Amino acid sequence: YPVIAKQAKREGAQIYWGDEMGLRSDHVSGKSYAPAGQTPLIRATGQRFGCNMISAITNKGALAFMVFEGKFKTPTFVEFLGRLLKHAQGKVCLIVDGHPVHKSGIVKSFVQANVQRLRLILLPGYCPELNPDELLNQDVKTNALGKSRPANKGEMIKAVRSHLHRRQKQPTIIRNMFKEKHVWPRAPSRWASRTRPRPPASRRPSSCSATTGVPARSWASRNCCSRTLPPPWAASSVPCS
């Protein structure tokens, strides 16, 4: 991420984090209350319906979204990219996951046609916790649906759009999503290198101990002589290969 941030700053681009999410009428979230000893009851419709949304946020508090019906397909994502370019100013770096739609040929052609203003970056696999836009998804499920019980699809779409329009006017809440420890802008870089760094020469253990003649417990221990070592008081006469 630091490399991406430096390139975006040099090019004057904005870094957006995007994600998609499906919403259903039978989603259960939030808490309620009731008198002691009584189970709380919440009235809800028995109908099954849902909608989908796609959003993108920045660490400056900007939010772009689109609520739609049906499955998430390539034309839907291309339409969202077009809206994002109209919504944002300057160049856009959009970071998304490895969904097949994001890697489709039509999307690649659209990005190539708008290469002067758009750059698409894919996250590593199996790490949704790095994307701060996942926190916006949870916010929508908890506060847009958890605190309202839409009776039909139209009411659900209206509630989701109303909540997202409210969040567009609350950039502080969007910025706070980037302060979580597990998201990529704050998380330690565990993808750059998984090897243990080699210590400096001043702290590097020697092949044999200077006082006991016992091989040091390190990667250099294999360089010690293989002969049987004498007792510690005779260690000075033990050569090392």
**Cβ neighbour number for residue 241 with a 10 Å cutoff:** 9
Are β-strands 14-24 and 118-122 bridged in parallel, bridged antiparallel, or unpaired?
unpaired
**Cβ neighbour number for residue 44 with a 10 Å cutoff:** 12
State the pLDDT at residue 188: 52
State the pLDDT at residue 197: 53
State the pLDDT at residue 205: 52
Q: Please state, in angstroms and rounded to a whole number, the distance separating the CA atoms of residues 18 and 133.
A: 6
State the pLDDT at residue 217: 47
Q: Provide the 3-class DSSP secondary structure of residue 229.
A: coil
**Nearest residue to 174 (alpha-carbon basis) of 50, 64, 89, 59:** 59
Low-confidence ranges of the chain (pLDDT < 70): 30, 186-241
Q: What is the pTM of this model?
A: 0.73
State the pLDDT at residue 185: 73
